[in-house]
Chains A and B, each alone.
Chain A
């Protein structure tokens, strides 16, 4: 069973629908006992980093999460969940969880796209992820696949944690972490077949790691 962390993040039902479709048992939960018992945790997120951290700290879920990661529980952070695994976010000047060294920065409106036009913010739509290191999440996924992004801030982890990069005005890190602790800036639950394959790979990893 996978635990989808319930902290009013917005997109947990989308993640649940995707896992249901894949036949992967899951529960949307904030119950420490259920989370401790889960084979892995999905840490979703939509909205602002400040609000997300506020929800986590006011409910004590921040300590639960960092404890689970320290104990080696597989975890997948999505979007804001990916960003606040880092130490700091420029969004709302937020001190974040700090399980991965690095911070989160805002796209500069001065950046330009391939045609020399100013980039539009948010980065909204489909884009590729170029792997910088092997990643189990991408097993069997076509390299030309694209994933659905919608965000105005992007992760800047310490270089050794950069696993995948996407181009939008600049090359930014769209996949970071280490084996068993992954963070994706895009929404796999909304990225069609490649996104579903990524979620299935995460579930398979959790099952084996157990």
Chain B
């Protein structure tokens, strides 16, 4: 029986770890390589790195981080942020990541998904989507709209329709992030998570809003997600990965308990 995955997300800027609260006021909390190793040993099932670096110099530092992480931890990890071409994807995969994640670049140029899938296989291509709740309209029938630039720009694109599109283009997985719930720690946006999970047959990672392990259990049961992305609840020591998994298991969720 497949285990539901627990995935800590590490935001990296200029080679250092940050944690964005509603994408604002990021604070430095340490070394990404060391943190990755700690999470690996603590039982994380997978890791996600988001590179929020703007400069090309910072990009190079990120590839160095990826290489170091790949040499020390032996679970899958993905890298997102600033990836907009097949060559960007190749550089990150060659540095040792399993998967690359595209977000706004895919909205602007959906072909990047099919190009990445053709070059490296669908299993490598995660599409991250930032989603905001809006009034139901003809254009946004689900009431959930795709946004980019950390939620600052609405794209006039329905989230459910976009999920189906990226699956058809060859995405291997979707990471669905609720901008409304992100950083609020009041739980994942379960309605959204379930809508997206039911719209596609590829795995969906729930993201944004985890405040405790019960929220994670809800994401994979009520929300029907395959995995729960977490950040601040583990980054600041409030819960360990084991705390999260024990609680999920107590709620009847199959998780990986031996590592």
Contact = CB atoms under 8 A, between A and B. Distances in A.
Interface of A: 10, 13-14, 17-18, 20-21, 46-48, 109, 113-114, 117-118, 120-128, 142, 144-146, 148-151, 167-168, 187, 189-196
Nearest to A144: B258
B74 A46 contact: no
Contacts of B75: 148, 190-192
Interface in B1-26: 1-5
B51 interface: no
A10 B72 CA distance: 19
B203 A191 contact: no
B74 A192 contact: yes
Contacts of B258: 142, 144-146, 194
5 contacts: A114-B1, A117-B224, A120-B203, A146-B3, A187-B76
A17 B1 contact: no
B213 interface: no
If over half of B's interface residues share one DSSP class (helix, strand or loop), that class is named, otherwise mixed; here it is: loop
Contacts of A46: 121, 123
Given A13-B94, A13-B96, A120-B202, A125 B122 contact: no
B14 to A, nearest CB: 25
Contacts of B202: 120-122
B201 A125 contact: no
Contact of B74 (A114, A118, A126, A195): A195
Nearest to A109: B201
A33 B91 CA distance: 31
A17 B71 contact: yes
B226 interface: yes
A126 B203 contact: no
A126 B256 contact: yes
Contact of B227 (A10, A125, A145): A125
A125 B123 CA distance: 11
A174 B76 CA distance: 19
Nearest to B98: A190
Give the most central of B3, B5, B71, B123: most A CB within 10 Å. Answer: B123
B68 to A, nearest CB: 11
Contacts of B120: 10, 47
B5 A196 contact: no
Contacts of B70: 13-14, 17
A193 B43 CA distance: 10
Interface in B120-178: 120-123, 172-173
B257 A123 contact: no
Contacts of B5: 125-126
A118 B257 CA distance: 24
B59 to A, nearest CB: 20
A118 B72 CA distance: 36
A122 B172 contact: yes
Given A114-B1, A190-B74, A125 B224 contact: no
Contacts of B76: 148, 150, 187, 190
Contacts of A120: 201-203, 226
Contact of A127 (B3, B123, B173): B3
